Amino acid sequence: MRIKLFSAIILALLILIVGCSQSDDVGEASGENKKEADEQIDKTKKDEITTSDEMNDDENEDADIQDEDQKIDGKVVVKEDENVVLVELETNLIEGTVAEVNLRKAYGELSSPIGKIGSENEEIDDNGQATIEYPLDDDFFETYKGEQIEVKIEIKGSTFKENVIEAYGKNGEKFTGPFVYQFEVFEPDQRLYAPVYFIVGDEKTTYTIETPERKSLPDDYGETDVWMEAEIIDNDHRYIYIKGESNLLEGLMLQGRYFEDEEATFSQEWATEIFIEPDGTFKLPVKYKTITSDGYIEIQGAPVRSHRTKKHVYDTYGENFEHLTGNIVKEVDDHQEILLTIDREGIDMDVPEDSLVTEDDGELRIQVPDDVLFDFDKSELKDSAKDTLDDVIDILQKLEDDKRIQINGHTDNEGDPDYNLKLSDERAASVEKYLTDNGDVNHLDIEKKGYGDTQPVESNEKEEGRQKNRRVEIVFDE
């Protein structure tokens, strides 16, 4: 009996021990599962937070991009061998923004685009970059050699997709920074605009896109009592360069002309054109033929012009500029005009008969047209040419010893290039021979060379330009 009771107690204890052990195992397993579940929840929460943070970062980054000034960097590469102009852009613009490029003659000589197409477009990629190839006519480099060309780079609302409109506005009204310009075509709009200029056939082929430096707006900007200040800052063999400030409205067109003296009725060359910048400043190249006399530059703003912001200009100044006052406002027939003149002192030298004199950083060029010196397709001097060359001798004889003199022959692009090169060389030799045979110029270092049609001073597109290209130059430093 006692044995049976003792066995029962032992059995009960064993059952109790096993049960507790199993309970502990289950508890431990349950605890581990709970721990794993908690860790999984924590991980999910962390993933959600990270994803949310990343989304917020992306949104913040987009907001930052939209809030900062728009930037346009990069370069323009002129590739004559491929017959294209390559535009490589680096910007902070959002993906999908369209950049538009077209070419035209610079400073208002010709408003229509140059090339096979009116414009070429490309979307900005996710790195803010775009590469645009602008194809040129097959004869572009031959026709426009020597011509100043503007590469016009624009970002405008008419090309915007939905995401770009959200960022910058339907008409670019959210654009900010130094590349922003006002336009009025069908309705007022803001555009990003970056012009780059190059000379066709120039040795330089790569041009950097530069960020404009803006001044603070004048306190009286946009008022009808208008003023303008300007000065000559430089010149080369083609242009006199003017820099100015004003309180005139952005987008108003200014024209510049050079008159050789106070008695001149007509300017020497066609008028060049530019628009007032967003800060009221302007840079105006003024074309000229010869600058030996005391001439003057006329800067004009008139109501009948292709102002870039015509509606704003007319609303403020009146369609005939009748609301304008100030010292630079002049009455002309039935309207008013803005008119400023700048005197320019000429070069102190006697100009050879029937010739033109240009200057660039102290280098003088006496340009004598070929029809003054030679008969058509000939290299023997005309008798009448000797009067002009005698005037040249008078100038050369007064120069310092060992001064380097270059006598360069040039033609237009009509005819065979090899024949033109030979003819230009023979003509330079004829002029050199006359100068050395008839003048006391042995103290000078005289060189002669023919360039054919490779160095035009004007486009060969029209006869007027071709006529200017047929010439002999006598080049020397002052």
Q: Which residue(s) pair with 336 in the sheet?
A: 331
Say if residue 16's pLDDT is above 50: no
* CATH architecture of the domain with residue range 69-213: Sandwich (2.60)
Helices (H), 132-275: 140-143, 162-168
Say if residue 164's pLDDT is above 90: yes
Lowest mean pLDDT among 124-128, 144-148, 365-369, 431-435: 144-148
Nearest-angstrom CA–CA distance, 293 and 2: 146
Mean pLDDT for 261-273 is 92
Please report where in the chains the tokens 């005139």 appear, as a residue.
248
Residues 153 and 72: beta-carbon distance below 8 Å: yes
Q: Where are the domains of the chain?
A: 1-67, 69-213, 214-346, 356-477
Nearest-angstrom CA–CA distance, 139 and 388: 36
What token pair was written down for 107?
A: 């400073």
Helix axes 385-396, 417-438, angle to 10 degrees: 60
Residues 268 and 259: beta-carbon distance below 8 Å: yes
3-class secondary structure per residue, 49-82 = HHHHHHHHHHHHHHHHHHHCCCCEEEEEEEECCC
DSSP state of 193: E
Say if residue 91's pLDDT is above 90: yes
Q: What percent of the chain has pLDDT over 70?
A: 84
Equal CATH topology for 69-213 and 214-346: yes
Say if residue 63's pLDDT is above 60: no
Range list of β-strands (E), 253-393:
253-259, 272-275, 282-287, 295-301, 329-332, 335-344, 356-360, 363-369
Give the pLDDT of residue 146.
Answer: 86
Q: What confidence tier does 24 reach under pLDDT thresholds 50, 70, 90?
A: very low
Shortest CA distance to 235 belongs to which of 108, 104, 365, 338? 365
Say if residue 51's pLDDT is above 60: no
Mean pLDDT for 211-216 is 95
Q: What percent of the chain has pLDDT over 90?
A: 73
Within 13 Å, how many C-alpha atoms sit on residue 193's CB side?
Answer: 15
Question: Between 3.30.365.10, 3.90.1010.10, 1.10.101.10, 3.30.1330.60, what CATH number should domain 356-477 receive?
Answer: 3.30.1330.60
Q: What confidence tier does 461 reach under pLDDT thresholds 50, 70, 90?
A: confident
Higher pLDDT residue, 67 or 368?
Answer: 368
Which CATH number does 214-346 carry?
2.60.40.1930
Give the pLDDT of residue 347.
Answer: 86
Q: Which residue(s) pair with 334 in the sheet?
A: none
Lowest mean pLDDT among 34-38, 188-192, 414-418: 34-38
Residue type, 46: K
